[in-house]
Structure 1
Amino acid sequence: MATIIVKKVKKGGHAHHGGAWKIAYADFVTAMMAFFLLMWLISMTTQKQKIGLAEYFAPSAVSTTNSGAGGILYGTALDTSGKKASMPHASESGAAEQGDRPLATSPGRASDRDASPPDSRVEAHGSAMASLRQALQAMPDIADLSHNIMIVPTREGVDVSLVDENGRSMFRDGSVTPYERTRRVLEAIAPTLRQLPNRLTISGHTATARPGSPPAGEPWSLTAGRALAVREILAGAGVPDDHFASVAGRADTEPVFPDDPYIASNRRVTITLRDASPPVPPNLLR
C-alpha cells in the first residue's frame, strides 16, 4: 500500500497587507507639497499682486443678487462686455480723444480702490451694475465668457472690462477686429448704456511682448484702434455721441499685473461709466 504523506506548512507572523498604504502615503506627500508651495507663493506675493489676483478671480465682480435663480450672471457668474473693429487715425500718443476728461485707471489696479465711493454713490453704482447684468442675463450663449468680462465699481464710477485670458481672446490676434461674440455682448449692453446718465470713457490696453518675441501689433495704434472699435459698435447700437467723453489707447503702460506685464490678462478694453461731476457752487462761477 502506498504511503500518503501530508505536509502542513505553518505560516509565520502576519501576512503582508498589500500596497494600498503606499498610495495613501503618496497622496499625503503630494498634498503637503502643494500646501507648502501655496504658502511659499503667498509669502512671495506683494499686496498689490494679491489684490489683482483676488479681483481677477471675481469676488468683486460676482453678482450680489440674492435671487438664487442660478441663471447667467447670477449667483457666482461674472458679467460681460464686448467690442468692434476699424483702424483709427491715432494721434502721436496713440489716443483718439473726444473730450478732455481723463480716463479711469484699469481694473485690478489697487489705486482704483484705495478709497471706497461715498455712500451716496454706492446705490447708483449698484443700480448701474444690476442694469448691465440684467441686459446680459438673456444671453445664455455668453456663459463661457464669464472669466473674460468684469463689471466692478471704482472710485471714478463703474468699469466694464473685456479681458483676455490664455486660450480665449476677445479680439483677433494683432487686429482691431473683435470676435462675433464680443460684438453681441456690446450690442446687448448698448441700450442700458444709452439710458444711463453716465458719460463713457473707453481705454484699450495690451500686454508687453515677451523678450525675443515680436509684438502682435504696434501697441499704441492697436489699443487705440480697439477702443475706437468698441465705441463704434456702441454708437451703431444707439448710444448717442454726447455719451462719450474720451477714447484712448494706453498700449502696455497700465498693466493689471505690473510684476508680470507679459500675461494675457493685461490685454483688455475698459468702458468706464463715469460718475457725474458734483455741481459747482454759484459763488465759484463769478
Structure 2
Amino acid sequence: MADEGLRPIVVKRIKKGGGHHGGAWKIAYADFVTAMMAFFLLMWLLGSTTKGDLLGIAEYFRTPLKVAMSGGSGSGDSSSVIQGGGNDLTRRTGQVKKGDTPAEKKTYDLKAAKAALEHEEHVRLQALQKRIEAAIDANPMTRKFKNQLLLDITSEGLRIQIVDEQNRPMFALAKAELQPYTRDILDVLGLVLNEVPNKIGLSGHTDSTPYMSQTGYSNWELSADRANASRRELVRGGLADDKILRVVGLASAVHLDSKDPFNPINRRISIIVMNKRTEEAIRRDSSTLDVPDVQGAAASAGALTAAASQAAK
C-alpha cells in the first residue's frame, strides 16, 4: 500500500505543428469538376442525337473492325462515320446532303430505255448472223450448201431458212427424214445457236402441191413433223433443249415465193432466233385468262328470281 504513492506520473503532451495542409485536395476537386463536365456533355450529346445515329455508334463499338473493314450500318455510306450524317438531325437513315441545295430528282425515260435495249439486241443478232455465215464458210461440208441457207433480220428476230433446190431437197420425198447434208447443216447451227441467250422457234413449210394419204396425213402433218425432226437434230448437234420455245407446221400457208406457189424454195425449215419482244408475246399468249362464267351467272340469277317469285306466291 505504501508503494502506491511512489507510482510515476506520465504526462502526455500533443505537439502542434504550424505547417500547411498541402494541395492534394485541389487535384481531386479538379478531377471531380472535369468528370462532371464530361458527364453533362455526354448527356447533351445523347439528347441531341437521333436514334439512328445512336444505333450506328453502338454498332461501331460492338464490332469496330468489322464495320471499318467491310462497312455496315455503323460505318456510314460515304464520308460520315455515322449512318445519316449531314445537317438534318431529323433524318434517321441514309446520308443527308449538307447545305440547303435540294437534291436532284432523277427521271427515267422508259421508251428510250426500251429502244436502247432493242437496238442492242438488233446489233447482237447481226453479229450472230455474221458468225453463222463465217461458220458455214469455214466448214467444207456446209459451204457447198450456202445457196440454200437464207439469213435475214425480221420483226421476230434473226431468221435462218433452209430451203430446197430442184435437185437437192432437204428431206426425203413426202417424208420427214433428213438428208445427210441437212444433218450437217443443223449440227453446225446447233453449236452456234447455243452460244446466244435467245430462245429458238422452228416452223416447217411445204409448197402448194396437193398431198393427202389414205389415213388423212396431209401437208400440215408433214410440215410439223419436218420441223420437229429439225428440232431433234439441232439438239443432237449441241443446242440445249430448253432453248426451243416453239415448233409449228404451217404447210403451204406462208410461201417464200408467193408468185410461184410450186417453187421448191417454198419447201423449207425456218429457224427464228427470237428477240425479246417475240419471246414475251409468245409467253403472254400462253398465259391463262380468267373469263367470267356468264352462263353460270345468268343461271344463278334466274334461279334466284324464280325462288323469289315462288316465295311471293
Please give the TM-score of this superposition, normalised by the length of structure 2: 0.48
Counterpart Cα distance in 2 of 1:178 and 1:279: 28
Deviation at 1:120, TM superposition (A): 3.4
Deviation at 1:138, TM superposition (A): 2.4
Q: Partner amino acid for 1:272? A: I
Give deviations 1:155-211, integer Å, cap 9, x for gaps. 11101110012222111111101110110111112111111111000000000016x
Counterpart Cα distance in 1 of 2:174 and 2:279: 43
DSSP 3-state at the match of 1:147: helix
DSSP 3-state at the match of 2:133: helix
CA contact (8 A) 1:209 1:215 kept: no
Give deviations 1:62-118, integer Å, cap 9, x for gaps. xxxxxxxxxxxxxxxxxxxxxxxxxxxxxxxxxxxxxxxxxxxxxxxxxxxxxxx96
Counterpart Cα distance in 2 of 1:199 and 1:134: 22
When residues 279 and 226 of structure 1 are mapped into structure 2, their CA distance, relative to the original with a 3 A threshold, is closer
Counterpart Cα distance in 2 of 1:259 and 1:223: 21
List gaps (5 residues or longer) in structure 2: 1-116, 281-313
List gaps (5 residues or longer) in structure 1: 1-116, 281-286
When residues 218 and 125 of structure 1 are mapped into structure 2, their CA distance, relative to the original with a 3 A threshold, is same
CA contact (8 A) 1:176 1:225 kept: yes
When residues 173 and 269 of structure 1 are mapped into structure 2, their CA distance, relative to the original with a 3 A threshold, is same
When residues 138 and 279 of structure 1 are mapped into structure 2, their CA distance, relative to the original with a 3 A threshold, is closer
DSSP 3-state at the match of 1:195: coil
Alignment of 1:1-286 (within 5 A): 119-209=119-209, 218-277=218-277
Counterpart Cα distance in 1 of 2:137 and 2:264: 26
CA contact (8 A) 2:136 2:143 kept: no
Q: How many residues end up aligned between the 2 structures?
A: 161
CA contact (8 A) 2:142 2:184 kept: no
DSSP 3-state at the match of 1:151: strand
- Greater Rg, structure 1 or structure 2? 2
Report the identity percentage.
26
Counterpart Cα distance in 2 of 1:231 and 1:218: 20
Counterpart Cα distance in 2 of 1:171 and 1:151: 20
CA contact (8 A) 2:204 2:268 kept: yes
CA contact (8 A) 1:153 1:159 kept: yes
Counterpart Cα distance in 2 of 1:256 and 1:278: 21
C-alpha RMSD over aligned residues: 2.4
Greater relative CO, 1 or 2 (CA 8 Å, sep 6+): 1
Deviation at 1:123, TM superposition (A): 1.2
